[in-house]
Amino acid sequence: MPELPEVESLSRELDSAFQQNQHKIRQIHCLRPDLRFPMPLGELESLSGLSIRSVHRRAKYLLFQISEGKSVQFLISHLGMTGSWRFGSRASEKKHDHLAIEFKDDQFLIYNDPRRFGFVDVLKNIESSKWFSHLGLEPFDPKLSAQHLAALAQSSTVAIKVWLMDQKHIVGVGNIYASEALFRAGIHPATPAKKIRLKDWNKIILGIREVLGQAIENGGTTLKDYRSLTGNSGRFQKLLQVYDQQGQACVRCNKLIQSKTMGGRSTYWCPKCQKRNS
């Protein structure tokens, strides 16, 4: 489900909800602890009585900042493929509800995840933790440059589309937006990463920023499962130009969009607009 735009959209909605209403945690209900990694039951229990101050995003993680006096810690949530958060009035209302944060005002914030690829953890120091220490730069980080990516990719023979999805290079780009960004950049997805020239790295960075920015503005992409905090679908699926468009006419040149599995994931491109050597 969730790549950067979906997690960012959810993060903004959650943060706005907590800014309007300082929610103090009464209790965290671990309904089904068997997510990808078992929930840290004791640490979740120890959050009772504390308040969620804000919600941010790093890579594809949601970060709930929880503080009391000088101590600051984070409840982190990775949504895997099918994770979602929603507000409710009871701890467990639906199949696959795994966690429910009960607040003093009787509201519940509930995590649901049918495929259980997501997980939660409680951290004091985010960037040095095992979940975050290896991650690459954010796509909108001003430090991100063609030189930076070219240096990381200098000896990699991996297809650029697969390379972009590796979170240690650049974070937030998943299977949908990797194909979409390369279409916007005019680069063939099978190009070996080390063969990309500086001017094409610049096009890739622009393509990534453009597609992620538009997707955020449109509340993300809903293929099947993704829902906003209030249960709405995203709108960006209507604006996809190559993803899941195999056999359709390219929006720019009318040639038919191709698809092929790369690195085990479906990949889409226009054979005329996207060249290995541009």
Partner DNA sequence: CTCCTATCCTGCGAGC
Partner DNA sequence: TGCTCGCAGGATAGGA
Instruction: Beginning with the edge strand found earlier in the chain, give each strand of the sheet holding 108-112 in spatial order.
Output: 25-30, 97-103, 108-112, 84-88
Does 175 contact DNA by CB under 7 A?
A: yes
Report the amino acid identity of residue 66: I
Distance CA 7, CA 79 (A): 8
Choose between 50 and 117: whose C-beta lies nearer to DNA.
117
**Shortest reach from residue 198's CB to DNA, in Å:** 19
**Number of residues assigned to the chain:** 278
**Residue 167 interacts with DNA (CB under 7 A)?**
yes
DSSP state of 238: G
DSSP strand pairing (97-103 vs 25-30) = antiparallel
Task: Tell me which residue has tokens 């990775």.
Answer: 78
Between 18 and 201, CB nearer to DNA: 201
Total residues interacting with DNA, rule: CB under 7 A? 43
Distances (CA, A) of 53 to 19, 29, 68, 92: 7, 20, 9, 24
Please report whether residue 174 would count as binding DNA according to CB under 7 A: yes
What part of residues 201-240 is at the interface with DNA (CB under 7 A)?
220-226, 234
CB of 115 to DNA, least distance (A): 3
User: Toward DNA, which CB reaches closer, 23 or 78?
Assistant: 78
Beta bridge partners of 261: 266
Q: Looking at 5, 8, 58, 60, which residue is catalytic? A: 60
Residue 2 is among the residues annotated as catalytic for this protein: yes
Q: How far is the CB of 68 from DNA (least distance, A)?
A: 29
Q: Is 78 in the site for DNA (CB under 7 A)?
A: yes
Closest to 173 (Cα-Cα) out of 186, 163, 184:
163
Of 2, 136, 189, 207, which lies in the binding site for DNA, with binding defined by CB under 7 A? 2
Interface with DNA includes 6 (CB under 7 A)? yes
Q: For residue 64, what are the β-bridge partners?
A: 55, 75
- C-alpha dihedral, 111 to 112 to 117 to 121, nearest 10°: 10
Q: What would the two tokens of residue 128 be?
A: 């040095």
Stretch that binds DNA, among 43-51, 76-84, 85-93, 182-190 (CB under 7 A): 76-84
Which of 114, 109, 19, 122 lies closest to 61 in space, CA to CA? 122
Question: Tokens 């190009």 correspond to what residue?
Answer: 191
Is 99 a binding residue for DNA by CB under 7 A? The answer is no
Positions 124 through 163 that interact with DNA (CB under 7 A)? 131, 134, 155-159, 162
Main-chain dihedrals φ then ψ at residue 114, nearest 5 degrees: -55, -45
Segment contacting DNA (CB under 7 A): 2-10, 102-110, 136-144, 180-188? Answer: 2-10
Smallest separation (angstroms) from DNA to the CB of 246? 10
User: How would DSSP label each residue in 120-151?
Assistant: EEEES-STTSTTTTT--B-TT-TT--HHHHHH
Asked if residue 77 binds DNA (CB under 7 A), the reply is no
138 is an active site residue: no
Active site residues: 2-3, 60, 265
Contacts with DNA, residue ranges (CB under 7 A): 1-3, 6, 36, 59-60, 78, 80-82, 95-96, 114-117, 131, 134, 155-159, 162, 165, 167, 174-176, 193, 220-226, 234, 263-266
